[in-house]
Chain A
Amino acid sequence: MSLFLSYLLPGIPYGCAYALMAVGLVLTYRASGVFNLAFGAQAFVSAVIFSIALHDGWPGWAAFVVAVLLASPALGLAMERLLFRYTRAAGPLVKLVPALGLLIAIPAVTQMLVGTATRLPSSLVLQPWKVYFHLASTPVSGEELSTTVITVAVVAAFALVLRSSGLGLRMRAVVESPRMAELSGVRADRTSAAAWVLSSLLAGLAGVLLAPMYSTVASSNFTALLVAAIAAAAIGSFASLPLTLVGAIGLGIAQQLLAGYLPSGTILSSGLRPAFPFVVLAIALVAGRSLRSAEVRDPLASCDPPVHAFRAPARMTEVAVGSRAFTTLAVGMLVATTLVLVPGNWEFVFTLGVVLSIIFLSITLLTGMGGQISLGQAAFAGAGAFTAGQLAMHSVPVLGAILLAGVLAAALGAVVALPALRLGGIAVGLLTLSFALLATNVLFLYPWAGNGATGLTVPRPTLGPISFAGNGAFFWLSLVFLVVLAGAVKLVQWGTTGQELAALRGSERGSAAIGIDVRRLRVVAFTVSAAIAGIGGALYASLQQSVSVNDFNYQFSLVYVVVVAAVGVYSVGGAIEAGVLYAVLMQLTSTLSSRFSSLLALVFAVVALTYVRHSEGVVAYAKAWVLDRAEQLTRHLQAPPLRSAGAPGMPAGSGTARAQDGHPASVRDRADHPEVGAGGVTAGRSESQDLHATPRSHG
């Protein structure tokens, strides 16, 4: 009994920290539809500020006020005002990418500001390691005591506010329907900003409370806290606060019990404790009420204009040809310089870029074409890499092993996709994230899989007499893989599967109504995407010649999504640009001091923040902008008096001046000029503007 208690009691403070953050997650999710993964970063920032302030001799209360009551809420308010209030009517990807970007960017910035020096966490009220009393002969430390008491008090106060205060009433109303709340005279935007401030306060508090439990203040610990909180929120179906609370504390306790009772020294005991929340998350997501059904639908949602899917504008022939020629030239030069001019390490960098492009291609297919979010692509890549490694160890030819790696990753993808079918949008992302965490914490550690931190060696392949051992030869091989796979993805995009995916992205109901098996199609997209990621991972392994679990850490999955989304998720070209850019930037930043080692992630994360405005990706946006200019110029050069006045077959609006809102003309035209679309067709009906209906009224 006392053994049981000695395992159980230390779990409670963990559970309390999870609970604080989980309550914040649920509150913001309900109030603004944003699943704010950046709370993990906010918790980290508060913990850092708190420990630095104490280190500098501040009194505890002052450090607490600045770290928890000021910094984190201010950060949350800034996020809501500057980013997330514009995403209310947007799709799940637009809500997710900025949050992911912040999750990566905020710790990176913090690290740059305060350096990487290890900082000892500091306790709040009581001495953290001092034992104040014994409970059934189990010592209770100050840390455990203060965390529990503070959490109970804060959560109780929170429940009271939500239940009976005016603010709580307004919040619950805004959660259900911001429009209807406005009709009742409630300022919905202020109320949802208040929800962000309160949730951020909870996240900051969780960070400060949790900090003393680890030996250093490291951002990864707070990401783990975040995922545990997500699992707790899933137990409460992302809606019920009491269930969330119970789930969180239960999680904390269960983790400690597992650590205590599982045989020590095994992978299960060391890996399952950190991976446990993900197992719970997966179960809760699959077995519980789905996120979609938990959402009470806003009866006034039809007031918002319909959300448009992204579509690349059609271009004038001259511009399209020029653009294609330019791209071909750029690619050709890149290939040529890689092989002839650049020093060896850059040869390696470009090869890495090609291999990463293949992995990123899997995101283009799944997210860009299929509209599904995966936060676990690195795990599929890892599965491919380790499969190739294991097969190579059993003397399977490496090229064959690379292809088989794709097959195994595909199978894994199908297994993950099946439970994801019931879920929509963000929930699929969370489920794949939990898979990725399980993979990096447990699966990849086994000798028969990734062999832990030691990893595996994967030789360079040979094909008959041809050896790809040299970097130049391997570059060619990777390029062939990329060309074949990118070509296949393009063909799929134009073929039945791609068109059905496009239809599904546009309207799930409409797709089912024309006879598309939506579930099958989703599984196919997941499977093919995982196969591509697996092949990319295997190539990566062969390029590096030795890989370990650290190469496929779950955090890479998050970075991958941010990178591809930032550059351009909707086109095959976007994946390749993202891969090459990422590899080159990685090489450039690797020479900087360790303090700036996160600069790379930071660059992409900051770019991702622009995602709220340019969901087609910044590079894709810039390209559209340049091509718009080029079209203008071309039209100007082509004898304007004769042809400029709306020549047939020319997009009549796209040559006009740049819009004030900063969108390229072709993008703006879609919204402002009905009938004159980016498809380049000029409608010959002026009376077509005369529509006579409320298009979305019910009846």
Chain B
Amino acid sequence: MTGARSDTTAQGDVRSLLELRGVEASYGPYRALFGVTFSVPEGSAVALVGSNGAGKSTVARVVSGLVRAKVGTIRFAGHDVTRWPAWRIARAGLAHAPEGRSVFASLTVEENLILAARALGGRPPSGALDRAFSTFGQLAARRHQLAGTLSGGEQRMLSLAKVLAVPQRLLVVDEASFGLSPAVVDEVFDTLRMIRATGTSLLVVEQHLDRVLSMSDRAVVLVRGRVAAEGTVADVEPAIERLLPAHPQWSA
């Protein structure tokens, strides 16, 4: 843990909350990222888009410390977090809601929240749970139920509720719409907007392009493990068009 000593406050680009420079990563022999560079400005919402297998989930995992970057640096909130373990990055204020099941199935709804609140914020602030439960009425009703018995949409809400309970600086959401019906997806995106309104920056991995682009200031287009375009949503429009299939029906 060499990074442990370099706890000095922000140097360099103060406006960037998260900054990746030349990040490469692999799973065993399979390389997934090839020099990914982009940044998330403080207070912004950034969409991370790309076709399947482009490396979007890997970016999310590298950022949160689940997968180690082999080359390159990752800076978060002024710290070089490249070699930090996941728990330390989490405590620094970076929340990651992984794709698929992202709650502890064997803990109750309330325990899921308490766990996050205690580990991230020391003693749970008295208002933390109330804040989460007042926002998510349906979770309050199921507060003593095991999280594994929740529906897919409720589980997704619970994973977001953790962020509301203890406000974070950056929320990385991987495939917010994974396996959810359109109505529930709408709810999830409303929640994301609300979380952003509380001052949390967002990095959203998503394949529903319109939904994610409409709520983002900026977008990063990932193609085969490399950044094909980065900028405001308008800037990257051409690159996104190229993601859409070149079928005459689609580009019409």
A-to-B contact residues, CB < 8 Å: 166, 169-170, 172-173, 175-177, 179-188, 296, 299-300, 302-303, 305-306, 308, 671, 674, 689-699
Contacts and interface: CB of A to CB of B under 8 A. Distances in A.
B239 interface: no
Contacts of A690: 31, 34, 224
B125 interface: no
Contacts of A671: 28-29
Interface in B95-145: 95-96, 98-102, 104-107, 111, 114-116, 118-120
Contact of A299 (B28, B56, B65, B102): B102
B10 interface: no
A239 B26 CA distance: 34
B70 to A, nearest CB: 11
9 contacts: A176-B107, A179-B66, A181-B115, A184-B119, A303-B61, A691-B30, A693-B53, A693-B54, A694-B56
B66 A692 contact: no
B64 A698 contact: no
Nearest to B56: A694
Contacts of A296: 105-106
Contacts of A306: 27-28
Given A169-B118, A173-B115, A694 B29 contact: no
A321 to B, nearest CB: 31
Contacts of A696: 27
B211 to A, nearest CB: 18
Given A183-B86, A671-B29, A690-B34, 7 more contacts: A169-B114, A182-B87, A186-B115, A303-B61, A671-B28, A693-B55, A697-B99
A173 B85 contact: no
B79 interface: no
A185 B105 contact: no
B225 interface: yes
A699 B27 contact: no
Chain A residues touching B, majority SS: loop
Contact of A182 (B54, B65, B224): B65
A479 B95 CA distance: 65
A692 B98 contact: no
Nearest to A306: B28
Nearest to B90: A185
Interface of B: 27-32, 34, 52-58, 61, 64-67, 85-87, 90-91, 95-96, 98-102, 104-107, 111, 114-116, 118-120, 162, 223-225
A9 to B, nearest CB: 37
B115 A169 contact: yes
B65 A691 contact: no
B27 A183 contact: no
Given A169-B107, A697-B57, A699-B52, A185 B116 contact: yes
Contacts of B64: 183
Nearest to A30: B106
A303 B63 CA distance: 13
A169 B54 CA distance: 36
Given A172-B104, A299-B101, A694-B32, A185 B53 contact: no
Given A170-B115, A180-B104, A184-B116, A692 B27 contact: no
Of all A-B residue pairs in the complex, the 5 with the closest CB atoms, nearest first, are: A692-B224, A305-B28, A185-B119, A182-B86, A693-B53
A81 to B, nearest CB: 16
A187 B106 contact: no
A185 B115 CA distance: 9
Contact of A694 (B53, B115, B119): B53
A31 to B, nearest CB: 13
A302 B100 CA distance: 12
Contacts of B106: 172, 175-176, 296
Contact of B90 (A169, A183, A691, A699): A183
A172 B107 contact: yes
Contact of B53 (A188, A689, A697): A697
B90 A182 contact: yes
Nearest to B32: A694
B119 A170 contact: yes
Nearest to A689: B31
Contact of A173 (B55, B99, B104): B104
Contacts of B115: 169-170, 173, 181, 184, 186
Contacts of A697: 52-53, 57, 99
A694 B66 contact: no
Given A305-B27, A691-B32, A176 B118 contact: no
Contacts of B57: 694, 697
A180 B107 contact: no
A690 B90 CA distance: 31
Nearest to A177: B104
Contacts of A176: 104-107
A694 B111 contact: no
Contact of A183 (B52, B53, B66): B66
A179 B86 contact: yes
Given A172-B104, A183-B90, A699-B52, A166 B118 contact: yes
Contacts of A169: 107, 111, 114-115, 118
Contact of B55 (A175, A177, A187, A694): A694
B55 A692 contact: yes
Nearest to B25: A694
B91 A185 contact: yes
Interface centre among A303, A305, A694 (most CB of B within 10 A): A694
B107 A173 contact: yes
Given A170-B115, A184-B115, A698-B100, A303 B28 contact: no
Contacts of B90: 182-185
A671 B26 CA distance: 11
Contacts of B118: 166, 169
Contacts of B29: 671, 674
A299 B100 contact: yes
B51 to A, nearest CB: 10
B66 A300 contact: yes
A77 to B, nearest CB: 20
B102 A180 contact: yes
A180 B225 CA distance: 24
A571 B105 CA distance: 42
Contact of B32 (A172, A180, A186, A693): A693
